[in-house]
């Protein structure tokens, strides 16, 4: 437990009065005469009350110069080794304990500020991530909707075609698969130059579409929607778009996520 001895109290009182004198001396520099007169009259009043009460032990604020010097020292090193404490105390006309207390309180203030700064940074990060998440969620909903529509359309087409095939030209299961694969291959090779395909899959054959959906149904698709249907591109995305490194960077706390990939 740290307690003050009577000599400490006395020393504190001495420091109070000395700092007051210092204040009187220093505060007269650079002020107007009126302001100086006001300060002097104020101090005279204080002296009077102190004389009357004798034992008045008022808390004194440090002078601007003292605070400036302490701040400067704090910037250099926020911890105070004994030698520096003594030197500073001597230079500023304060008790070493006062210097120590000032540093202690200053560290506490700095810590509070630091916490505030960290909170602001974290909040900004959170807001950015939330925005990102909301966008992805909306996109996901829209894609799911489109997928369901396409599935329904396919089911209809399949029902029609199987009905007519049964009636006109029955084909074996293996032959059917070969047909799908060849069409898929053709689709995969030619879709870049196929304007119909680029145009939201209007006019695609039901087998081709079904094949693509089977390939990609279980995948999470990120990007700007169903503008281009490319199974090999989907595979590339799996391999490259979400490499470990990038997925880590995407959710990195150090760097706020951007949406440039999201809104090309």
Partner DNA sequence: TTGTGTTTTATTGCCTCC
Partner DNA sequence: GGAGGCAATAAAACACAA
Positions in the binding site for DNA (CB under 7 A):
1-4, 9, 12, 16, 58-62, 67, 79-80, 82, 97-98, 100-105, 107-109, 111
| DSSP 3-state of 65 | helix
Smallest gap from Cβ 99 to DNA, in A, equals 9
* Token pair 């999201």: residue: 262
Smallest gap from Cβ 259 to DNA, in A, equals 37
User: Closer CB to DNA, residue 72 or residue 260?
Assistant: 72
Residue 64 · residue 19 · CB < 8 Å: no
DSSP codes of every residue in 174-225: HHHHHHHHHHHHHHHHHGGG-HHHHTTTTT--HHHHHHHHHHHTTS---SS-
What is the C-alpha separation between 219 and 238, in angstroms, rounded? 9
What is the C-alpha separation between 255 and 191, in angstroms, rounded? 38
User: Closer CB to DNA, residue 62 or residue 204?
Assistant: 62
Smallest gap from Cβ 121 to DNA, in A, equals 20
Smallest gap from Cβ 59 to DNA, in A, equals 4
Smallest gap from Cβ 75 to DNA, in A, equals 15
What is the C-alpha separation between 109 and 173, in angstroms, rounded? 78
User: Closer CB to DNA, residue 39 or residue 228?
Assistant: 39
Give the list of residues 6+ apart from residue 20 with CB closer than 8 angstroms, or none.
43, 60
User: Closer CB to DNA, residue 114 or residue 179?
Assistant: 114
User: Closer CB to DNA, residue 74 or residue 226?
Assistant: 74
């Amino acid at each position: 437990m740290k307690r003050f001895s009577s000599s400490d109290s006395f020393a504190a009182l001495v420091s109070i009065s000395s700092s007051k004198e210092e204040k009187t001396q220093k505060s007269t520099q650079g002020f107007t005469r009126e302001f100086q007169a006001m300060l002097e009259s104020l101090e005279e009043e204080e002296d009077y009350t102190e004389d009357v009460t004798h034992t008045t032990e008022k808390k004194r604020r440090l002078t601007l110069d003292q605070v400036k010097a302490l701040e400067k020292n704090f910037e250099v090193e926020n911890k105070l080794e004994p030698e520096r404490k003594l030197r500073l105390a001597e230079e500023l006309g304060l008790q070493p304990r006062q210097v120590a207390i000032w540093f202690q309180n200053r560290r506490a203030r700095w810590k509070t500020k630091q916490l505030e700064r960290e909170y602001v940074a974290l909040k900004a990060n959170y807001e950015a991530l939330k925005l990102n998440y909301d966008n992805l969620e909306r996109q996901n909903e829209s894609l799911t909707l489109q997928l369901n529509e396409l599935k329904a359309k396919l089911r209809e087409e399949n029902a029609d075609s199987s009905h007519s095939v049964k009636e006109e030209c029955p084909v074996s299961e293996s032959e059917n698969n070969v047909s799908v694969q060849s069409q898929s291959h053709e689709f995969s090779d030619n879709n870049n130059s196929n304007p119909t395909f680029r145009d939201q899959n209007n006019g695609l054959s039901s087998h081709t579409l079904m094949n693509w959906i089977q390939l990609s149904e279980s995948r999470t698709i990120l990007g700007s929607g169903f503008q281009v249907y490319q199974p090999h591109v989907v595979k590339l995305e799996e391999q490259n778009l979400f490499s470990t490194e990038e997925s880590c960077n995407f959710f990195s706390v150090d760097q706020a996520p951007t949406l440039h990939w999201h809104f090309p």
